[in-house]
Structure 1
Amino acid sequence: MQKKYIFTPNPNENDIDTTLKEITEHGDSLFPIAVHFTNHQSGQKNMIHKHWHRELEILYICRGRMIVNIEETSFKVKAGDILYIPSNLLHEAMHDQESPCAFFAIVFDKSFIESRVTDHIQQSYFDPLFQNINQPAMYFHEKNAFYQDIQGSVIKIIDLFALKAPLYELSLKSNLYIFFQAVLSNTSQISGNKNIQDSKSYLNSYKCKKTLLYIEENYKSHITLEEISMHIGYSKEHFCRFFKKNFRVSFFTYLNQMRIKKAEYLLLNTHLKIIDIALETGFDDANYFTIVFKKETSLTPSDYRKRPSNVTSL
């Protein structure tokens, strides 16, 4: 009898809010874990769109290769490699020379493996690991002496989640403990991550999130470079370089793109006049709003609203 593999549907760019936080639920409150499978053919640029989430993540590459950026560090990974991504780290993946690539993402809330009552395991192992705000990502590959143990537990977790045989939850959780036992036993031997400047990386992450939160709270108003630079604590020139490096577009390009996404929602879900939508999303000139909207969507706001394929949803 052929085995039936079932994975959680993949999040996409529509599941990432304007602060780059992924808003997908991974599992539920009783079983907060999900395994996603992604298979990209050659020519795909964005393997994983830039985002962050409070859950922990184990990334397992099973075919091809790609470049994974986690905060300020890049990892060039190939089939068989494994990355452990702690909570709240911005991460994304790009193609490596247009190579096709397939990978699994195991995403779970740390509460899934933490002790409900503080005990020796929690105090000695998980608290130091999960409460370290400067904890870097970890990269595992076949040259690590303990790699076979880590790979074995990861593959077992994927198979258990996919097949969902009776009592699979117990075995899946036990294999997560095996994964962390191997990680904690051998952290001093981990290679490929020696040059991370933890304090700088954390500061950069904090500044990114502070920037995005400011945009989210103020996009309806007229935001100047002077205002946001002062809010972040940079000069205008430093802020522009910082923003372009971390978001790969200029600040005003990003701001307009976010405003247009807000406008798209209002066009499809309200009966507001186009001029009112322009004002609601931070554009004080309706003509300029139309120009920017058409540049981003290839349609005027009125044409976008009239498309028969658009379905209003909440």
Structure 2
Amino acid sequence: MSKRTLLVDDTQRELCTHGTESFPMTVSHDDFWDFEGKTVPIHWHSDLEISLPRKGKAIYQIYEKSYYLKPGEVLLINQNVPHSCHSSDNQPAKYSTILVRPDFMYGDFGSDVERNCFRPFLQNSAIPCVVLSPDNPSHCRMLEKLNQIEQLFDQKPYCYELKIKGLLCQVFTEIFAENQKICTHYIPSNQLELERLEQMLNYLNTHFDSVISLQQLADQIHLSREVCCRLFKKMTGKTITTYLEEYRTDKAFSLVQSGQYSITQIASMVGFSNASRFANSFRKHFGCNPGEYNSLKQKK
């Protein structure tokens, strides 16, 4: 069975539409091991994302901080926040995800609900995410509502759309109340930093198959090499070198699967300086050498 890939543009902005225009929310059920490299790569979107681990432990990387989640905990990721995730201990990790467009709840942009309730949260650089713990009684109530949303979406009983909207509004009302102090005097998110990250990712993703110098990358955003490195690490939690290695390895996966090219050819096609570096990176991401992959897959 082929592995799943996340559909993104050259800036890692997700292209997939969540839900429909008339009902802009959805619930998905996934396993990190269903994705290439057993990981969901760096991406972002304008929808709010609520992740509910169901089995195994998950690690989410948001900016420079890692969040280790287990079943019973919840992670809410704010809109336009770059994030990636994978399982820990090289074990499968199943999880459910609620994705919702904010205006599904607040209605028209500029409305009192959008301006007074949602905007101080959505555009708040101090709240890239919120963790809900079952040890907190108020969080338990929110978790129950989120589980109801998942059940309603899967079963689709009469008027499930209205019930889901009502539950989402209740959950976010509690989240906003809990973060009222931070929201009252909020610091607007730095749109320029996100735009610069988009420029860097666009350059890396379109030139991954050739030699990329740090100076060339820094020139794209008109910053020094040192500031460029710090900004990339701040926004993704990864160094530029690590990100580029992972991206090249993911690009090589389908080439290895095809069985049409030698390891040396694939290494050259995706930008590795030599076959040895490519083999080491592939083994680190997929647990075996590229030359062994197809034979191991056939034995399973």
**Same fold per TM (> 0.5)?**
yes
1:117–1:75 distance in 2 versus 1, CA, 3 Å: closer
5+ residue gaps in structure 2? 256-266, 283-289, 292-300
Instruction: Judge conservation of contact 1:63–1:103 (CA < 8 Å) in 2.
Output: yes
Match 1:127 to one of 119, 122, 130: 119
Return the structure number with greater relative CO, CA threshold 8 A, min gap 6: 2
Decide which structure has the larger Cα Rg and report it. Answer: 1
State the Cα RMSD in Å: 4.2
The amino acid across from 2:93 in the alignment is C
Give 4+ residue runs of structure 1 displaced > 6 Å after superposition: 198-203, 217-222, 258-261, 296-299
1:157 alignment counterpart: 149
CA distance in 2, matches of 1:103, 1:183: 21
Q: Find out whether 1:208 has 2:197 as its counterpart.
A: yes
Match 2:97 to one of 101, 105, 126: 105
What per-residue deviation string (whole Å, max 9, x for no partner) do you get for residues 178-203 of structure 1? 1101111222699xxxxxxx889877
2:248 alignment counterpart: 257
1:93 alignment counterpart: 85
Q: Name whichever structure is richer in helix by fraction.
A: 2
1:74–1:39 distance in 2 versus 1, CA, 3 Å: same
1:111 deviates by 1.7
1:130 deviates by 2.3
1:33 deviates by 0.8
Instruction: Judge conservation of contact 2:125–2:189 (CA < 8 Å) in 1.
Output: no
Q: Find out whether 1:228 has 2:217 as its counterpart.
A: yes
1:122–1:200 distance in 2 versus 1, CA, 3 Å: closer
What per-residue deviation string (whole Å, max 9, x for no partner) do you get for residues 48-86 of structure 1? 322111111111112221211112221111111011111
CA distance in 2, matches of 1:32, 1:24: 12
2:158 alignment counterpart: 166
1:142–1:210 distance in 2 versus 1, CA, 3 Å: same
Instruction: Judge conservation of contact 2:204–2:244 (CA < 8 Å) in 1.
Output: no
Match 2:68 to one of 76, 80, 83: 76
What TM-score comes out, normalization by structure 1 length?
A: 0.66
Match 1:39 to one of 31, 40, 57: 31
The amino acid across from 1:170 in the alignment is L
What per-residue deviation string (whole Å, max 9, x for no partner) do you get for residues 253-297 of structure 1? 559839968x98xxxxxxxxxxxxxxxxxxxxxx95598698699
CA distance in 1, matches of 2:142, 2:250: 43
Match 1:19 to one of 4, 11, 19: 11
Instruction: Report the number of matched residues.
Output: 260
The amino acid across from 1:55 in the alignment is D
1:99–1:236 distance in 2 versus 1, CA, 3 Å: same
